[in-house]
Amino acid sequence: MTFDVGAFMLQSVPFARTLDISFDKVEPGFAICRMPDRADLHNHVGGPHAGALFTLAESASGAAMLSAFGDQLSRATPLAASAAIRYVKLAMGEVVAEARLQASREEVVATLDAGGRPEFDVAVEIRTADGTLVSEMTVAWTLRPNR
């Protein structure tokens, strides 16, 4: 990757800055992001609001996607096509999201090369600081060819 994906995400997605999301590790097809424990992000039971958890996971998925396909931005626009999240357990405190690309880079780029619009999944797990799984999310991404 020739650019800082975390910095790019924070510049291009202001809401990630609003939530103080940090990009701890970004490698091809993989990202780890964290969100601090802030009272203004809490829900009615004192943990991070479901929308904040969703945004953390979606941001991690975007970083994982960009780390694999950032070199394709000149010819395609990445878009989240759908997302499904499962809230497993009440989250308390700081939370960390780990995202992994579930597709082959070669197959996605080949579809784009053939004039298609590839769609692929990124799986995300959100855990508390002690490693407890609190949410799971799958984001389906597409690369829309620029016309």
Q: How far apart, in Å, are the Cα atoms of 127 and each of 17, 20, 91, 105, 136?
A: 20, 17, 8, 27, 9
Query: In the chain, what are the domains?
Result: 5-145 (3.10.129.10)
Find the mean pLDDT for residues 74-103. 97
Tell me what the pLDDT averaged over the chain comes to.
96
Checking if the pLDDT of 128 tops 70, the result is: yes
Checking if the pLDDT of 9 tops 90, the result is: yes
Which pLDDT value is given to residue 59?
97
Cα 67 from Cα 32, distance rounded (Å):
12
In the structure, what pLDDT confidence band is assigned to residue 137 with cuts at 50, 70 and 90?
Answer: very high
In the structure, what pLDDT confidence band is assigned to residue 100 with cuts at 50, 70 and 90?
Answer: very high
Length of the chain equals 147
In the structure, what pLDDT confidence band is assigned to residue 1 with cuts at 50, 70 and 90?
Answer: very low
Find the mean pLDDT for residues 20-24. 97
Find the mean pLDDT for residues 104-118. 97
First CA to last CA distance, the chain: 24
Q: Which residue has the tokens 């060819």?
A: 145
Cα 79 from Cα 141, distance rounded (Å):
6
In the structure, what pLDDT confidence band is assigned to residue 2 with cuts at 50, 70 and 90?
Answer: low
